[in-house]
Amino acid sequence: MAAIKHIFNELHYEMIRTIAEGGMGVVYEAVQRGAGGFTKTVAVKLIREEYSTIPEFQKNFIGEARLVANLIHTNIVQTYHLGQIGGQYFMVMEFVKGVNLEQFLEQHAALGRRMPVDLAAFIVSRIARGLTYAHQKRDKEDRLLGIVHRDIGPKNVMIAYEGDVKLTDFGIAKALDLMHNEEGQVIAGKDEYLSPEQASYAVTDARADLFPLGIVLTELLLGRNIFRDADRLTSRQNILGMTIPQFSTLRPEIDSKLEAIIQKSLQRDREKRYACAYDMMNDLELYLYSDGYGPTNEKLGVYLKEIMDQKDPVQPPNTPTPLRLRPTP
């Protein structure tokens, strides 16, 4: 850390602390300093030295930075700068003061509480908003980038203490001309949050992000991922073949409208799933607001503080996710 601090001081970044470590990189909280006493708290994601020299990882890291640089949306963590120093690439990113969704779930479990149904649906509707924007993004030549995040899961969703919900870590995303991609040969993503297409080595499109988004919704509602197993292969087999339950039997507060949204998002046949993130977002918002007042960022922020203030939360914003590529068996 001392060596890193010294190197980045020369670039006017004061490294404050390590906030997360993953297989590929480390994320630091840092203060960017400028003229006239200017300061800004940022997150610095640094690729590990041993990966900086591997072309596949290097291309993905650069591709991620180029991709997210122009993804400017309130529900996506912003990236400000890509740099290289001492042979290592780094990204300067928006610092989100809050917790990731995995921590939020863990705190509920520790307190023996379930997340309110409306707030669970609200969080997922905000993720769907970010995905809608990303999936529709075009380049300067007006070509659809064809972005598929491929790593939707609680660890890659940040909730700020003000209640903002932000999708992060496009490190294994699929996008036109930008990211290293070996679909059909490898599985990208975490076993318990795969779409059936990913789990079966098929080529994905944007609908592949909606099945794991449905998984996240059910996990927020139930406090557990119904597909997760200690054995990774079994998790994948569950994704492909486990009977999808009626979730209202597992939590009575799930009404028929929300049940229908969940069931549509978890259709294994993607032709029967939501056609796009916008449609899923729209259904969630109709569910939340058609009868009048519904949840807001402010309400979520108040609830987040209420839950997390019951102990000192560990805060690793912008948590990096190690690249998970597994060859075809």
Instruction: Return the active site residues.
Output: 151
Output the six-digit token pair for 65. 């930075």
Output the six-digit token pair for 140. 């300067």
Which residue from 204, 153, 146 is spatially nearest to 176, judged by alpha carbons?
146
Q: What's the CA gap between 138 and 59, in Å, rounded?
A: 20
Cross-strand bridge partners of residue 25: 47
Q: What's the CA gap between 212 and 155, in Å, rounded?
A: 13
For 85, the 3-state DSSP assignment is: strand
For 312, the 3-state DSSP assignment is: coil
Cross-strand bridge partners of residue 157: 167
Cross-strand bridge partners of residue 42: 30, 94
Output the six-digit token pair for 315. 């805060």
Place of tokens 């995040």: 149
For 206, the 3-state DSSP assignment is: helix
Q: What's the CA gap between 111 and 168, in Å, rounded?
A: 27
Q: What's the CA gap between 109 and 284, in Å, rounded?
A: 25
Residue pair 190/86 in contact by the 8 Å Cβ criterion: no
Q: What's the CA gap between 24 and 26, in Å, rounded?
A: 7
Q: What's the CA gap between 284 and 288, in Å, rounded?
A: 6
Place of tokens 């297989």: 23
Residue pair 318/160 in contact by the 8 Å Cβ criterion: no
Residue pair 111/310 in contact by the 8 Å Cβ criterion: yes
